[in-house]
Amino acid sequence: MRIACPFCGERENGEFTYLGDASPKRPNFAVDSGESPERVEDAFYDYVYLRDNVAGFMREYWYHGGGCRSWLIAERNTVTHEFRSVTAAPGVGASKPVQAGE
Amino acid sequence: MADFSWNTQSPLQKALVAGRHGVASAQAGVTLVEVRDLVLVQVMARRGKAADTAKAAKKLFGVDAPSTPKAVAGKTATLVWSGPDQFTVLAPRTDESSQIDAMSQAFSGSASLSDQSDGRCLIRVSGPRGRDAIAKFSSLDLHDAAFPVGAAANTAVDHTAVNFYREANGADGHPVYSMLVFTSFADSLWHTIVDSSLEYGVDTSRTRAAA
């Protein structure tokens, strides 16, 4: 399997580390915002533990530790290992601003 | 208390035995050189300051800093891409503190600098079979079309992180590849390269960085 890093070009997968699903978003809430504790707890339980077992394309975090040391988001088909796209994760590189909530 | 002083020594002090190794044909297939006496500074643009960093680099070195994996020769230094919005400055050591002061001033406010002069070891591989030797332990595509003169790559060779780049062809017309490796891994990588080169015959030596 080879992965086309947006910075380095195509490299062997041994240079990369897999983190997991890139879809979960950290629940956004403020302490004492009036949100019910049960709902916050449920949302965090979802965020931390529950994952879809996708057969097909999913968005995943990959880390190019053996190369440019950037976090990437890849769309990979879990059935065929086909990569549809590999892009830099938000905030990678000094020229890109960090997105709120990431 | 006993007097005590630190002596600097090459990370290849033991590993590098100058001379011919492996096949003793008339011409060595691989030439392996440790390049000493370098000033090596990692330049990392700060958030939102990539353009300022590029401008400062252009002013100081007279060339555009690489924004893609490339090695660019500037006035007093070679700039090697080392990641998004960061690059490594390689210069022959003349007066280290004034060289680093000049960079500190030039990049003040736009980039963070990290002096890696004694943190990395520069190993240069050349000769008619140099590429064949490297192909045994690196997964990079080193074909001229894929990795021409001036190309660079951050990669893992033999499980070791290496800044890899291609310099101008040697006087013999064959490609010249340089590898920057962490000093503590230099010994191991050196043995890997020598072992890969034995069947072609390898000449090993150390040299000072050319001014």
In a domain, B60, yes or no: yes
**Spatial CB neighbours of B20, under 8 Å, sequence gap ≥ 6:** B28, B201, B202, B203
- Choose the weakest-confidence range: B6-10, B31-35, B64-68, B160-164: B6-10
Predicted pLDDT at A101: 44
B122 plus B144 within the same structural domain:
yes
Interface test with B, best of A1, A11, A87, A98 (most B CBs within 10 A): A11
Report how far residue B54's alpha carbon sits from residue B71's, in angstroms, rounded to the nearest whole number: 15
A–B interface: beta-carbon pairs under 8 A: 58
- Which chain A residue has its CA at the smallest distance from B87's CA? A68
At A99, the pLDDT band (50, 70, 90 cuts) reads low
Question: Given CB atoms, is B117 within the 8 Å cutoff of chain A?
Answer: no
**Spatial CB neighbours of B108, under 8 Å, sequence gap ≥ 6:** none
Report how far residue B65's alpha carbon sits from residue B56's, in angstroms, rounded to the nearest whole number: 9
Residue B39's beta-bridge partner residues?
B91
Q: Which amino acid is at B127?
A: G
In a domain, A8, yes or no: yes
At B43, the pLDDT band (50, 70, 90 cuts) reads very high
Query: pLDDT by residue (tens digit) across B92-142?
Result: 999 999 999 999 999 999 999 999 999 999 999 999 999 999 999 999 999
The distance of B160 to chain A (nearest Cα, Å) reads 8
> Domain containing B25: what range?
19-36+118-208
In a domain, B3, yes or no: no
Angular region, A95: left φ>0, alpha ψ -120 to 50, beta rest: alpha
Predicted pLDDT at B210: 80
Domain limit, last residue, from B96, B115, B134? B115
At A20, the pLDDT band (50, 70, 90 cuts) reads very high
pTM value? 0.89
Domain limit, last residue, from B59, B85, B115? B115
Q: Which amino acid is at B24?
A: A
In a domain, B148, yes or no: yes
B125 plus B202 within the same structural domain:
yes
DSSP symbol at B162: E
Average pLDDT of the segment spanning B166-172: 95
B72 plus B149 within the same structural domain:
no
Nearest to A13 by CA among A62, A49, A79: A62
At A10, the pLDDT band (50, 70, 90 cuts) reads very high
Mean pLDDT, chain B, integer: 94
B32 plus B56 within the same structural domain:
no
In a domain, B12, yes or no: no
Q: Which long-range contacts (CB under 8 A, 24 or more apart) does B159-163 make?
A: B160/B185, B160/B188, B160/B189, B161/A66, B161/B185, B162/B189, B163/B80, B163/B82, B163/B88, B163/B120
> Domain containing A47: what range?
2-27+36-88
In a domain, A99, yes or no: no
Q: CA dihedral in degrees (B138, B141, B144, B145; nearest 10)?
A: -170
In a domain, A76, yes or no: yes
Query: pLDDT by residue (tens digit) across A24-81?
Result: 988 887 777 778 888 889 999 999 999 999 999 999 999 999 999 999 999 999 999 9
B31 plus B107 within the same structural domain:
no
B134 plus B122 within the same structural domain:
yes
In a domain, B58, yes or no: yes
At A16, the pLDDT band (50, 70, 90 cuts) reads very high
Report how far residue B20's alpha carbon sits from residue B22's, in angstroms, rounded to the nearest whole number: 7
Q: Are strands B202-208 and B30-36 parallel, antiparallel or unpaired?
A: parallel
Predicted pLDDT at B178: 97
At A102, the pLDDT band (50, 70, 90 cuts) reads very low
B82 plus B140 within the same structural domain:
no
Domain limit, last residue, from B98, B115, B132? B115
Count of domains forming chain B: 2
B30 plus B50 within the same structural domain:
no
Interface test with B, best of A7, A16, A87 (most B CBs within 10 A): A7
Predicted pLDDT at A98: 55
B146 plus B195 within the same structural domain:
yes
Task: At A53, give phi and psi (nearest 5°).
Answer: -100, 85
**List of chain A residues whose C-beta atoms are within 8 Å of the C-beta of residue B85:** 93-95
Indicate yes or no: CB of B48 within 8 angstroms of CB of A94.
yes
The enclosing domain of A44 has a CATH number of 3.30.2270.10
B32 plus B42 within the same structural domain:
no
In a domain, A100, yes or no: no
Count of domains forming chain A: 1
Predicted pLDDT at A12: 93
In a domain, A96, yes or no: no
